[in-house]
């Protein structure tokens, strides 16, 4: 199993997209931290960009990479190797490459400018998002045989998580504004890992006051130890469930 | 060695294999013959575990291969169309395969590797190779680990006459070592002097599994190609009626 991870990882490090992605993140972080008057503000601006860029690159790059590795996968499956090991190795290779890119591009500048708890939260959220969206890409590429359809679905899913979901939540909020839906809002936000990260970050940098009464509810939930533990578990589930489903499917797939 | 029991395979609504039963033993060289789309490659892929049958089971040395992987150590597979990562060099592909199989260097069978002149090509990227060179790489990889069973899917398609002869000589040599060799091919003249048994598949049905001599006797033909042509036209005739 290790040698396949090593192979995938080495192949990814040589990949031009990964290098450009790392450089892009690095330039973005450095310039934002230099532009904003306080590094706390810089952190919030950086967060807004990261919540868009990291899921986008993770999901689309991973699905393209997986579709392009179809030959490699076919070659390995005819060899004396366990199928789930092949698939897990691909996942681990991809996820660690995305995480290392993120650590180099965002982790280092953040630690230099704002090595506080909020800075660490930002790094943690970025790493989680990288893994989650690689995991979703694994599921897409195993379910859909056709490359263009698969990449199309990856883009749609990203649009959904990054934009459409918020629009739907707003719609829901306005429709039910006469009812006490604050607690429901906490539950609904769990359906979108990007939102979890956003709320978590905003609470860390004390911007929750801007969110009104819902912000107070969020503070009550996310601020407590139990709330944090539940959030961490849900983020972990977001990372594990798609890849676990994809392994189950890959074991039975005809190649 | 390989025991195929009641194998059926459906791709969606399309039934590719229909209740196939076969018993294949070491020391035999078996030709898998049938028209295009008759299910030959699907059967081969089922033996390798690349396609999971809808029904039935395949035993390798008495053990069900479902969800197993170690048995593939004993099989050398040469695919119809060799698919390799485009950006890997030939040398890297060989290194990866050796790494996976973990066989000591002195036990490897480098005969084809040298007679095909692979050492001079080691730095070429797989994406730049011609179809024939790809076939050569696939053939070398199939024979490299001297497996007990060899599964060759259209081995001579795309090879030049000289390389075809080299490959045929190598296959004949391996038959002597009590190995099971399964060849699927449309080039029947290539098979004539190698195979001992014929399996004929049509539209997913196993039509017959006979020895070559028996087949020649039954059809009264002296060459495999004539015998098969006779069978194909007979079944065509039956369909028209």
Q: How far apart are CA B111 and CA B170, in angstroms?
A: 8
Q: Which residues of A touch B99 (CB under 8 A)?
A: 3
Does the pLDDT at position A29 exceed 90? yes
Tell me the shortest Cα–Cα distance from B11 to chain A, in angstroms.
9
* pLDDT for residue B30: 92
Helix (H) or strand (E) holding A234, with range, is helix A225-252
Residue B67 vs residue A124, higher pLDDT: A124
Q: What is the mean pLDDT of chain A?
A: 89
Q: Under an 8 A CB cutoff, do B49 and A70 touch?
A: no
pLDDT band at B27 (very low <50, low <70, confident <90, very high): confident
Q: Provide the β-strand partners of residue B14.
A: B11
Residues of chain A positioned with their CB less than 8 A from the CB of B150 = none
pLDDT number for residue B94: 92
* CB spacing of B77 vs A77 below 8 angstroms: no
Tens digit of each residue's pLDDT (9 = 90 or more) over B58-92: 999 989 988 888 899 999 999 988 888 888 899 99
Residue A142, domain extent: 2-252
> A64 in contact with B at a CB cutoff of 8 Å?
no
User: Cβ of B100 under 8 Å from any chain A Cβ?
Assistant: yes
Is pLDDT above 80 for A132? Answer: yes
Q: How confident is the model at residue A214 (pLDDT cuts 50, 70, 90)?
A: low
Is the predicted pLDDT of residue A219 greater than 80, yes or no? no
**Strands B197-202, B29-33: parallel, antiparallel or unpaired by DSSP?**
parallel
CB within 8 Å: A71 and B51: no
- CB-based burial label for A35 (10 Å; 0-12, 13-18, 19+): exposed
Residue B235 has pLDDT above 80, yes or no: no
Residue A209 pLDDT level (bands cut at 50, 70, 90): low
Q: Nearest residue on chain A to B97, judged by CA atoms?
A: A79
pLDDT band at B46 (very low <50, low <70, confident <90, very high): very high
Q: What per-residue string of b and e applies to B99-111 under the rule 16 or more CB within 10 Å gives b?
A: ebbebeeeebbeb
Mean pLDDT for the stretch of residues B182-210 = 88
User: Closest approach of chain B CAs to the CA of A251, in angstroms?
Assistant: 8
Give A155-191 pLDDT, tens digit per residue.
999 999 998 998 898 888 888 888 887 778 888 888 9
B90 neighbourhood in chain A, CB within 8 Å: none
A-interface mutation test, from B85, B89, B98, most A Cβ less than 10 A away? B85
Tens of pLDDT along A91-112? 999 999 999 999 999 999 999 9
Distance from CA of B47 to the nearest CA of A (A): 10
Q: What's the structural domain count of chain A?
A: 1
pLDDT band with cut points at 50, 70 and 90 for residue A225: confident
B125 touches chain A (CB under 8 A): no
Q: Which tens digits make up the pLDDT trace of A243-253?
A: 999 999 999 88
How many other CB atoms are found less than 10 A from the CB of residue A120? 15
Residues in chain B with CB shorter than 8 Å from the CB of A13 are none
The full set of domains in chain B, from first to last, is 2-240 (3.40.50.300)
Q: Which of the two residues, A130 and B194, has the higher pLDDT score? A: A130
The ipTM, to two decimals, is 0.84
pLDDT level of residue A39 (50, 70, 90 thresholds): confident
Instruction: State what percent of residues in chain B have pLDDT above 90.
Output: 43
pLDDT of residue B241: 65
The CA distance from A115 to A117, in Å, is 7
Q: What is the mean pLDDT of residues B193-198?
A: 88
Q: How confident is the prediction for chain B on average, in pLDDT?
A: 89
A135 pLDDT more than 90: yes
Is-above-0.95 flag for pTM? no
**Which of A11, A71, A81 is nearest residue B83 as measured by Cβ atoms?**
A71
B97 in contact with A at a CB cutoff of 8 Å? yes
């Amino acid at each position: 199993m290790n040698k396949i991870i090593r192979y995938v990882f080495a192949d990814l490090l040589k990949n031009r997209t990964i290098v450009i992605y790392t450089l892009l993140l690095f330039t973005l972080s450095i310039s934002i931290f230099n532009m904003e008057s306080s590094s706390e503000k810089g952190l919030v601006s950086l967060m807004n960009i990261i919540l868009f860029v990291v899921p986008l690159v993770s999901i689309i790059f991973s699905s393209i990479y997986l579709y392009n590795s179809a030959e490699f996968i076919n070659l390995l499956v005819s060899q004396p190797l366990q199928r789930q090991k092949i698939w897990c190795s691909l996942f681990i290779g991809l996820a660690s490459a995305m995480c290392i890119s993120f650590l180099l591009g965002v982790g280092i500048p953040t630690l230099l400018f704002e090595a506080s708890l909020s800075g660490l939260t930002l790094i943690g959220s970025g790493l989680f998002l990288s893994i989650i969206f690689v995991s979703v890409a694994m599921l897409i590429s195993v379910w859909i045989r056709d490359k263009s359809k698969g990449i199309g679905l990856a883009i749609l899913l990203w649009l959904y998580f990054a934009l459409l979901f918020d629009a739907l939540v707003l719609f829901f909020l306005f429709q039910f504004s006469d009812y006490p839906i604050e607690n429901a809002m906490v539950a609904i936000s769990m359906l979108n890992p990007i939102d979890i990260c956003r709320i978590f970050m905003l609470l860390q940098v004390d911007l929750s006051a801007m969110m009104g009464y819902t912000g107070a509810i969020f503070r009550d939930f996310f601020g407590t130890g139990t709330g944090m533990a539940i959030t961490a578990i849900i983020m972990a589930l977001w990372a594990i469930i798609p890849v676990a489903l994809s392994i189950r499917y890959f074991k039975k797939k005809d190649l | 060695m390989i025991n195929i029991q009641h194998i059926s395979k459906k791709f969606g609504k399309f039934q590719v294999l229909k209740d196939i039963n076969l018993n294949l033993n070491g020391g035999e060289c078996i030709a898998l013959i049938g028209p295009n789309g008759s299910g030959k490659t699907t059967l081969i892929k089922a033996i390798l575990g690349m396609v999971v049958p809808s029904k039935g089971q395949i035993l390798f040395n008495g053990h069900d291969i479902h969800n197993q992987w170690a048995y593939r150590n004993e099989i050398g597979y040469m695919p119809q169309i060799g698919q390799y990562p485009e950006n890997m060099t030939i040398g890297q592909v060989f290194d990866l395969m050796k790494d996976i199989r973990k066989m000591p260097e002195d036990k490897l069978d480098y005969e084809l590797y040298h007679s095909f002149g692979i050492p001079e090509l080691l730095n070429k990227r797989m994406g730049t190779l011609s179809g024939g060179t790809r076939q050569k790489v696939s053939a070398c990889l199939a024979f490299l680990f001297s497996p007990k069973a060899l599964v060759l899917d259209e081995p001579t398609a795309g090879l030049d006459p000289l390389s075809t002869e080299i490959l045929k000589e190598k296959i004949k040599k391996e038959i002597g070592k009590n190995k099971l060799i399964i060849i699927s091919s449309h080039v029947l003249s290539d098979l004539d002097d190698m195979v001992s048994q014929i399996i004929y598949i049509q539209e997913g049905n196993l039509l017959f599994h006979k020895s070559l001599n028996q087949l020649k006797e039954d059809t009264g033909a002296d060459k495999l190609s004539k015998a098969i042509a006779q069978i194909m036209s007979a079944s065509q005739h039956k369909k028209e009626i």
